[in-house]
Amino acid sequence: MKFDLVNPPELPSPTGFNHGLLAPAGGRTLFVAGQPGLGEDGKVVPGGFVAQFAQALDNTIAVVRAAGGDVEHIGRMTIYVTDLQAYLASRRDVGVAWRERLGKHFPAVALVEVRGLVDEGAVLEIETTAVVP
């Protein structure tokens, strides 16, 4: 199952890697609820922004795999952060965490700065849509 990139020539180059992804027919759509960087104990993992980002990705991937998919089936991801500057300052390490988990797969991604999140101490949350075979 492979997504097709959608980058219309009349639009400027995307900020990320694509403007959209087109899922092949025959897949099942999985909507993954927002995943903060919570560990198995249900508490925010220590270590700051990058540690929470890595854990949130792990949590997201666990849901996708439990539904029968894998990282390449993730078509859309929205990352909510409480501090855009903290994200920007951590981009290099966030990129390392991303590549360790998703390799070179880049779904359609949006980054949104928010005032706060429900889980105490959470600085980010990742919401995802995947298309699993």
In the chain, how many domains are there?
A: 1
Q: What is the pLDDT of residue 78?
A: 98
Q: Which two tokens stand for residue 111?
A: 């980054």
The stretches of 47-121 forming alpha helices (DSSP H) are 48-66, 84-89, 91-102
Q: What is the pLDDT of residue 23?
A: 84
Element (H, E) at 13: none
d(CA 86, CA 83) in angstroms, rounded, equals 5
Average pLDDT per block of 10 residues along the chain, 133 residues long: 86 85 88 96 95 98 96 96 96 97 94 96 96 93
* 29 Rama class: left (phi>0) / alpha (psi -120 to 50) / beta: beta
Residue 108: which CATH number?
Answer: 3.30.1330.40
Q: What is the pLDDT of residue 117?
A: 96
What range does the domain containing 106 cover? Answer: 4-132
Q: What is the pLDDT of residue 108?
A: 92
Q: What is the pLDDT of residue 18?
A: 84
Q: What is the pLDDT of residue 29?
A: 94
